[in-house]
Chains A and B, each alone.
Chain A
Amino acid sequence: MIVCVAVVGHQNNPLYIQSFTEADDALKLHHIVHCSLDVIDERVNNPKKSGSTLNETFLGLLYPTENYKVYGYLTNTKVKFIVVTTDLDVRDADVRNFFRKFHVAYVDAVSNPFHVPGKKITSRTFAERVSTIVKSFGLSSAG
């Protein structure tokens, strides 16, 4: 199950962060997302491979904490998507697919002329879409 998705701007400022748990763990998830940025920075600055993976937007598993797995995705505009999930065996392909859908939703959200670039995404449509994607992820990974 995905417990948290986040969009982080290119200056590492949170643009959108949404948890999908009932528990009051927003702070914890904020911390996890915030820390993942370190890993993303590291990945981006020291790419292990070049060539084919150069244009790869999917950053893979960022770091496994005790109970969570954190995946990252970096868009061309250096906006980062971070997903925190409790599933301990997730296929990369699923996560990739999730991020692709999420990216589309994000692009639609920021294409809104009323969205101020670099400011928090407040679009309700975006939130709805994201929660749909999150729900569908749970289904696909379960099945």
Chain B
Amino acid sequence: MDPASTPLGKLLLDEITPVVMVLSTPLVEEACLKNGLSLVEMLSPFCVFNNIDVPVRTASDQPYRIQKFKLRLFYASDIRHPNLEVAKERLKQVITRAGEKDDLYSEPPQTSNLLSSSESEIQPSWFEFFNKELVRTMSFSDHEAFDHPVACLLVVSSKDEQPINRFVDLFNTNKLPSLLNDGAMDPKILKHYLLVHDYQDSDQEKAAKILTDMRSTFGLHDCQLLCINSSDHEMVERQDNPWAPYKSGDSPSQRLGCFLNVDDYNEIKDLLQDLSSKHIIPYMEQKIRALNQEVSATRKGFRNQIKNLWWRKGKEDVADSPAGPMYTFSSIESQIRVLGDYAFMLRDYELALSNYRLISTDYKLDKAWKRYAGIQEMMGLTFFMLDQSRKEAEYCMENAFNTYLKIGSSGQQNATRCGLWWVEMLKARDQHKDAAVVYFRICDEEPLHSAVMLEQASYCYLLSKPPMLRKFGFHLVLSGDQYKKSDQIKHAIRTYRTAVSVFEGTTWGHIKDHVHFHIGEWYAILGMYELAVKHMLEVLACTHQSKTMQELFLKDFLETVQKTGKTFEVLKLQLPKLNISSLKVAFEDHRTYASPVAASVRECLWRSLEEDMIPSLPTARTNWLELQSKLVSKYRESNVCVVGEAVKVDIEFKNPLQIPISISSVSLLCDLSAISDELNSDALSSTVGPQNDDGSSNLTTNRDMSSENFSFSSSEVDFSLGGGETTLVQLMVTPKVEGILQISGVRWKLSGSVVGLHKFDSNMKKITKGRRKAKPPCDNLKFIVIKSLPKLEGSIHSLPEKAYAGDLRHLMLALRNPSEFTVQNLKMKISHPRFLNIGSHGNLKTEFPSCLEKKMASEQSGVHANSNNLSQTVFLFPKETLIQGEMPLLWPLWLRAAVPGHISLYISVYYEMGDISSVMRYRTLRMHYNLQVLPSLDVSFQVSPCPSRLQEFLVRMDVINRTSSESFHVHQLSAVGHQWEISLLQPVEAIFPSESLMAGQALTCFFRLKSCRKSLTSTDKVSTLSPLLGSDVSLRPEGSNEPLFDISCSPLADFHLCERLHQKMSHQGDPNAVDFILISQPLKDNITPGIADPPHLFSHHACHCSTSSTSPISWLVDGPRTLFHDFSTSLREINLKMVIYNSSEAVASICINTFDSTSTSGHLSEGTADLSTYPSGDQTGWHDASVVNNIKVTSDVHVGAQVGKSLSLESVPPFIWSGASSTRVQLEPMSATEIPLQICVFSPGIYDLSNYVLQWSLLSSDDSGNQEGKSQHSGTCQGYPYYLSVLQSA
């Protein structure tokens, strides 16, 4: 690449060019000012020669041609070191002006766009200008020679008096710049004399005369005449004014050079071309030769070098001043420098470089650091222009840069310039990354400069390959901070905004927040509040920030919003967070809910409950009016809601911050298109045509949120959220006209100033039936609003939340219809009939619990259990039931807390509209109650056959009071079924000394249960289902006259049936099972006075208590107990009778084995051994049998004692069984048979006739095998003790 065509090359060719000092008289300036220009300004456009083509020879006589050339013209007064303060001010203005041009409202650039565009597009154009200005502030330094004037242009006007003297005066020393005066440069410079003649003032003759004078005085070639303002009073219009770029300020460019016509134009051009090609270049060439010769003579060659070195060594004790020793123009060092710079300017870089090298070491040895740095700088640039040895070029630049910095503050400016050149050099070689580092190093304390440099550095990172975006962003941020420090807010915003795109989409929250927050803050300073708010919104939900930062962000945000003076509507406001997945819509179409709790129950539960109660969908639809079917076909995917009935939306708000925020006016965003008129017109369209148009125009959309909106009203909720809190908010919208309601979003107000909007996602799944409750947010939020309908309100009075198990209560269902339309055809269904039972209208007024008390037989007809309303079926209210107006319909319900635990009761009431024309024909009212049931009395029954009597059982009842504080009266025990008779074994007082059962107390009592059932008849089975008659036994003390409760009465019987059904699950139906109902009452004292507690009744149902033990066989040996016989005559044969009863449902085969026992206990063990050898291998051995027979612990003592006694008594001679020792019988189910037995007794005594064994096996089919282990296939039973006393008759 040609170095001259790079930006740096161009810059150098532009900036390092010969300087011409201009000295002019005031009259010259005056003439020029007519054109709105100063002399220098007028001449400057013609100082750039792009094709001058001047032949030059190098010092070594190598010819070459200079094509491009440029002169820099300066007034003598300007040739001095620029004032730093002024320069700074100018730079600041440059920046400020550039900042004002920025369009802060436009979208910030995206990194992807930045990457794809070229350098010149990315960087603000004023950078270049700024850099140039910055370099210029360092011009006319005495340590370098290229700013030293090469020539001097003396200009005098033809109007001046004594022009020749004026010329002499002009080059008067006291007006010359310090550079010439203090000896830094040679005052003998090339002089050129110019006479300016204004045509408008006088004719040319005088001028010509002066020119001849001049020529005679100053020399023929050095004098020239310039005639200007030759255009006579007419403005010269130029398309592209050559002066415009050189004139700063705001004078209109059309005025510039208005009196200069084409002749003047060409004259100026020729003048300058002549000046440069015929005077300046040859002069420089000549000077180069002269200097080169001198330098060669004094410094070149081995001898000179040695001499120089020795001479320098001698000056080692030179003070280390930053400027180094003073070098006058005549010193060899200065001359070498001048030679180098002249060579550089004439593009003889080889010569320049050799001279720079020569002088570099000298300056270094002299410790003239500034000059040394300047030389190094130029060497670097020369290397660059020669396009060789990049490394060396960079080394030189770095060396120069560091040296400048080393000399302290005075070198700072030079360092900056050097850095800028260095940067350009690196950029030209695509070393953007290194360039960025240099830019970074250029930064000084001046924040404004640093800002610009940092910004340029950032662009270098962007341009480096591969782009370093993060550094780009970082430096932009740094730069922005510096801009902010120097009050260049617009620039700060610009840099930050560019940086935003870098951090966008990343998770670097801290950085992002910082950037957005500051942009917002700065926009606010500028008063651009909308944009400020926009950026501040980004940082609102900053969960990762500390609490103080969150507070700061929120405070600033709210302040900014307040400053705007209006309320903002912000879509997707981050504060608070909306949990969309929590969105829940509750609305009532044909399904209505008595309480919000009921609405939250899963739909499928309700559906299964209502399955056989509501008409199936297709039939319902055909029954609907045409109107509705039309509607439905139109908006099948929509849900239906009713005018005047609220649609409720539950949504969760979460505060992501640690600080509390206040939210107000939370409401739903809704559209309600009123279509009632349209529908009407549709309906009328067959008859009246024209109305169609009116109708369709009536389709209006109301988006208004205000409360005076007539088409719907929505609720507003205010709340405040603490740090990290989550709140579920219920919002309501109540449509007031028919139409289509669309819930489109939520709207809220944050801290009373910012309105947040959240639109619900519009991509909604289609609901297949449109009959489902909308649950997920993707469900349809569109509703068809239909005409208002009656809606029942229902509640159950005095339903407790907690109850003890067994608690039986009388409740009241109240149904109210607030609308004026009637409803009819009511049906009701309850999910848990075991807990809740429907009474009949008759016992609405009855007193509880007295209504359950046993009446005289004649009165019992009243309320018998109706097995029809048992469980799963639907309860139909009487046909004539209508609910209308204020009067609620009351209906009795019975509650019985069946089992401990938590239970959810679902009640659904179906009703039809009295008004047939309504769109919806029926609705359901769904009620839901939760009931907690606490354990109260644990009742268990154990039934064992009575050993002494057939068909009689001992019942042991264990009652434990499981409550923590309640005490109970045990009121009565009833055995259900007319075949049972129950009676007490002991008097009540013996069982209940305290009359009540305290908390935690256990109680055991015994009853005798007698089966009145004869043999098995088919009617028996039926009777178990027939009205529950039974026998009761009062457990109250004798004295109390409290009546017994009738268990066959409605609620008790119903509940009992339910219990039976329920408990059947665990116990297979056993015909011998018995059901018990224990009725108890809480002790009245425990009930807190003052609260009218309804009377309680507790019923505990134990169903299917099996009466049979392990064996289905029961038997009884019957015979005489005491006999008198004279054993002296003969032995005595005694006939006995064994009655065997088969209580199983299968045919039993029974084998009775008798064995003669010895009186010793050894025989018993023998018997055991015998038994154990039974091939059946049954576990029911002798011991087992006895244990099993005596299962009941209570009876164990009893029997055991008898056995023990019998054993001890067996010292008498034995008896023997006569007759068959083994008898086998088949026994039909539920039947009894008699088997005769006979023994022979040889002597008087008491005999225990228990030494027989009954082996039984059931001969039934497989189903008996399926029965659980309780009843076995076969078994062996040891005989009961039977004592026979035989006495010697007298």
Contact = CB atoms under 8 A, between A and B. Distances in A.
A and B associate: yes
A109 B470 CA distance: 28
17 contacts: A13-B507, A26-B510, A27-B511, A30-B510, A31-B474, A31-B511, A34-B473, A34-B508, A34-B511, A35-B470, A35-B471, A37-B470, A38-B461, A38-B471, A41-B468, A42-B468, A45-B466
A27 B471 contact: no
Interface in B449-474: 461, 466, 468-471, 473-474
Nearest to A12: B506
Interface in A8-28: 12-14, 26-27
Nearest to A46: B466
A14 B507 contact: yes
Nearest to B475: A35
Given A34-B474, A41-B466, 17 more contacts: A13-B506, A13-B508, A14-B507, A26-B510, A27-B510, A27-B514, A30-B511, A31-B474, A31-B477, A34-B473, A34-B511, A38-B469, A38-B470, A41-B468, A42-B466, A42-B468, A45-B466
A86 to B, nearest CB: 19
A34 B506 CA distance: 11
Contact of A34 (B461, B466, B470): B470
Interface in B508-553: 508, 510-511, 514
Contact of B468 (A13, A14, A38): A38
Interface of B: 461, 466, 468-471, 473-474, 477, 506-508, 510-511, 514
A27 B506 CA distance: 15
A116 B476 CA distance: 34
Contacts of A26: 510
Contacts of B471: 35, 38
B144 to A, nearest CB: 31
A15 B400 CA distance: 44
Contacts of A12: 506
B508 A30 contact: yes
Contacts of A45: 466
A-B pairs, 7 with minimum CB distance = A38-B468, A13-B507, A38-B470, A30-B510, A35-B474, A38-B471, A35-B470
Q: Which of B461, B466, B477, B507 has the most CB of A within 10 A?
A: B507
Which applies to chain A's interface (DSSP): helix, strand, loop or mixed? helix
Interface residues of A, number: 14
A109 to B, nearest CB: 18
A37 B474 CA distance: 12
Q: Which of B466, B470, B477, B514 has the most CB of A within 10 A?
A: B470
Contacts of B514: 27
Contacts of B506: 12-13
B918 to A, nearest CB: 54
Contacts, number: 35
A39 to B, nearest CB: 8
A11 to B, nearest CB: 9
A31 B514 CA distance: 11
B508 A14 contact: yes
A31 B473 CA distance: 9
Contacts of A30: 508, 510-511
A35 B433 CA distance: 13
Contacts of A14: 507-508
Contacts of B466: 41-42, 45
Nearest to A37: B470
A34 B514 CA distance: 14
B464 to A, nearest CB: 9
Contacts of B507: 13-14
B502 to A, nearest CB: 9
Contacts of A41: 466, 468
A123 B477 CA distance: 32
A37 B503 CA distance: 13
A136 B309 CA distance: 57
A31 B470 CA distance: 9
Contacts of B469: 38
A80 to B, nearest CB: 12
Nearest to A31: B474
Interface in A26-55: 26-27, 30-31, 34-35, 37-38, 41-42, 45
A14 B466 CA distance: 22
A70 B931 CA distance: 66
A35 B476 CA distance: 12
Nearest to B470: A38
A94 to B, nearest CB: 27
A28 to B, nearest CB: 10
A38 B458 CA distance: 13
Contacts of B470: 34-35, 37-38
A27 B57 CA distance: 62
A12 B466 CA distance: 16
Contacts of A34: 470, 473-474, 508, 511
Contacts of A42: 466, 468
Contacts of B511: 27, 30-31, 34
Contacts of A31: 474, 477, 511
Contacts of A38: 461, 468-471
A25 B1082 CA distance: 72
A12 B503 CA distance: 11
A13 B477 CA distance: 19
B1264 to A, nearest CB: 55
A118 B507 CA distance: 11
Q: Which of A26, A35, A38 has the most CB of B within 10 A?
A: A38
Nearest to B433: A42
Contacts of A35: 470-471, 474
Interface string A92-118: 000000000000000000000000000
A35 B466 CA distance: 14
B181 to A, nearest CB: 44
B645 to A, nearest CB: 44
Contacts of B468: 38, 41-42
A37 B469 CA distance: 10
Nearest to B510: A30
A52 B470 CA distance: 30
Contacts of B508: 13-14, 30, 34
Nearest to B514: A27
Contacts of B473: 34
A56 B269 CA distance: 68
A47 to B, nearest CB: 14
Nearest to A32: B474
A111 to B, nearest CB: 22
Nearest to B502: A34
A38 B464 CA distance: 11
A129 to B, nearest CB: 22
A15 to B, nearest CB: 9
B445 to A, nearest CB: 14
Nearest to A38: B468
B77 to A, nearest CB: 43
A61 B961 CA distance: 79
A42 B474 CA distance: 17
A82 to B, nearest CB: 12
A60 to B, nearest CB: 17
A41 B508 CA distance: 17
A110 to B, nearest CB: 17
A120 to B, nearest CB: 8
Nearest to B503: A34
A78 to B, nearest CB: 16
Contacts of B477: 31
A38 B461 CA distance: 10
B271 to A, nearest CB: 55
B1263 to A, nearest CB: 53
A138 to B, nearest CB: 25
A116 to B, nearest CB: 14
A13 B507 CA distance: 6
B258 to A, nearest CB: 56
A26 B469 CA distance: 21
A13 B473 CA distance: 16
Q: Which of B469, B471, B514 has the most CB of A within 10 A?
A: B471
Contacts of B474: 31, 34-35
